[in-house]
Structure 1
């Protein structure tokens, strides 16, 4: 690089690292001189400045330019934390771009000693030992090691006490699939899908193998919530059915905690179906009610949900389930009724009967009659509205 290009790089990197105010013009000149204008050397030396928060004197490490970078790698590697060394060796051993959260998740594999991957990656970024790309899909970071650093890292791995652990980590990391820098725009979810397929395949042969993947997938889902839907599918596909349904309900609820409105209705209805299949009546009513209250719910959807709620409440009352009269259930039904009534001018006679039954189920008989009569006015022979009015008249 020319001195002008090197100076531009120093300004760019010092801004990225937040150390611009520490560098004087004289220090920049010395940095260019001692690095021989090598861009990667400049980046690593500035990483040392960022670490120590002072303008560390950029002493020439070795006179021979041929060995300058290797010597600099040696000094930088020795200054890394154990976690930083381990993550660097892992990424060097398989030189692809992988999601940063995949590297973090790998540390959770059974038998692994816990270490702080997030801090380790930040340390490697500071020394420019990893490159990063941010995905457009989820805003997650993908990381990879530059060629020169990876070559050094692979040599270092051969005699490292981390070798066995790194090789085990790499096996799991490879299940996410290889990727290039330009693949990052697709996001993390396709990589998670690949891991889920691997987990399903192994668990189909040995159900206990599922538990090896669960903590990893749960961590990934905490960062990419759509992975909770994959987890729900996975546990339903493998293992004891009753237990799997309960676990799937947990994962669906976790997804719903952060999901966008347009993504929720299908999942609430799926949760309602799961609750129905496990005889979780109150869970079913709650899920149905939440689905009906979404701004994306159409009048037709709300009508179908109202019908399910009415049938479920009738069943609960016939079975004398005390919770069916609880204030919480009444409040939920009332909210669904109000949401449905906002569309009353477009409701069919049958949907009017469903709305009327919602009101009747919470003791609002007068309003139930008014809505049923509205349905009869619209369709005089509608048996549902007629039956409800007869019930109220007796």
Structure 2
């Protein structure tokens, strides 16, 4: 069967280095993850032993420079995210949080000491990071977060951190958490290592989405931190939001991977499933579904590549990333649901990927900015008027 992304010869737009990176990621996952992902999802298992292999391939913080990072282009990073999410959104979420949230926050806002301490280990997969911004009562409105850090000793002593963060990917397995808190001088970022007294985590159970990923609550009860734990160059809400833009960029490529995997599965199934004496792929209604999804998939891929080129040229704007996430995740979840209908009753089985991708994409639709928030970001760019309140 034809690769759904080959309909418009999208590969022609890629350089050889980009194709090689995409192929190397696909090959690793074909051997180490794809055969097991249905079982991992069903059991709620995160394959931690895969993390050093992702590091050895250069995928962790791959778009960052120095400190053991690969320093690839943004587009190459996006293509890696595509292949990761083609297997499972949980794997892409891990890599996104590790590289675009945890490592990026340290790389951009950290001290040289913090970079040397953490980035090489995170890049190699020897350590895991997480990013604590969302709270139980404040998701889309992080400016009103309740987590606070107060400095002792007339502004010269340690910081005391109190509060909680919720829905934190990697939280329960992270060796270091980037935590954002209100201070007297506005929102600041802190690096909190696992094992710091007063810092605890609790994994969120009974998820029906991103089950092959660790999602946790972080709690801080009188956590004492020296000033060297503070990210010295991060001040105000713009700092964590800039990190989120990095993660959203990976999502708009990753969603294409999930959609491609669903469509490939549906194409193969439709060619083998015989009803009324012929494969269901020979029926007009099935071909209408397949053709419509292929057009939507290729449109999403072309949009992702265009935004990748803009990012590599230093021209991308936040509303463009919002437009990409909004369009591509919406397209992917519609493709996953439509593919499920082609598989009929078999579509609800984890033997086939569409139902798993559809469940995962419900989380992708919500995290790193909900569909509603990204709609308002685009709306503000078009009208010049903020409509969040």
TM-score for both structures, normalised by structure 1:
0.24
Larger radius of gyration: 1
Higher RCO by CA contacts (8 Å cutoff, separation 6 or greater):
2
More strand by share: 2
Which structure carries more helix by proportion?
Answer: 1
